[in-house]
Amino acid sequence: MSPPRHIARPAACWAGFALDRPLVMAILNVTPDSFSDGGRRADSRDAIAAGLAMAADGADIIDVGGESTRPGATPVPPDVEQARVLPVIRALAAEGVCLSADTRNASTMRAALAAGARIINDVSALVHDPLAAAVVVEHACPVVLMHMRGTPETMATLAVYDDVVAEVRAELEQRIDAAIQAGVRPEQIAIDPGFGFAKRSKQSAAVLRRLPDLVSLGYPVLAGLSRKSLIGALTDETDARRRLPGSLAAELFAVQHGAAILRVHDVLETVQALRVWRALAE
């Protein structure tokens, strides 16, 4: 029997969290070259301190990554990636922090889960490494499947669509089906439209406007809008670090249109904005 193409009703929980409010996933890049914060936390002690501060500021999940996947980024060997992230994951897990591993490499997934990560966040939706799905199945862990075409090196050339929303939805459905066929449980899956990944700013904006088309698949939708080029295009702000106001506006728009998880750089500001939004919406 073929797996279901979508769940009949929206998920009520994911990764042990009730989805009665938007979750905040904090970005913790332990890299020298990420697009807006590369090099700031390349030292594991700085990264651990930053992660603890994010948790104190209200992050539900901290997403630890050791490989930049910005447009044009070159691959990082898994051993280098692991040397960056594993000390950080071990230390934060020991403090009870809920962690996701932002990686597309199966060996890093396995090592991160052993070190205390609970979630896998794969920008390639388990495509990059043929062993990745088996790791997720073996550990029965939650996984984020992101839409992307090609690789960080090639994706900019693949941003060609007739109907970007319909095609992103169809391609995400394909990745969901493949994951379920491999043994991933549907309730463990969240999806990410991949704003800025194989999408120009206008295309990302179209996906955001029609986010309910993806929410209707029935899986929790993660929106990674923080400091993205979409925000820069809408505000004419070229410095990614000065895009907080626009990021908050886009993130609240995403929540209003069904996003269940926000992946952000600025935790305190996002948590506060969500609290005000929720209080006024009640």
Q: Is 199 a catalytic residue?
A: no
Q: What HEC string does the chain produce?
A: CCCCCCCCCCCCEECCEECCCCEEEEEEECCCCCCCCCCCCCCHHHHHHHHHHHHHCCCCEEEEECCCCCCCCCCCCHHHHHHHHHHHHHHHHHCCCCEEEECCCHHHHHHHHHHCCCEEEECCCCCCCCCHHHHHHHHCCCEEEECCCCCCCCHHHHCCCCCHHHHHHHHHHHHHHHHHHHCCCHHHEEEECCCCCCCCHHHHHHHHHCCHHHHCCCCCEEECCCCCHHHHHHHCCCCHHHCHHHHHHHHHHHHHCCCCEEEECCHHHHHHHHHHHHHHHC
Which among 84, 104, 243, 263 is annotated as catalytic? Answer: 263
Which among 21, 228, 242, 278 is annotated as catalytic? Answer: 228
- Could you list the active site residues? 228, 263
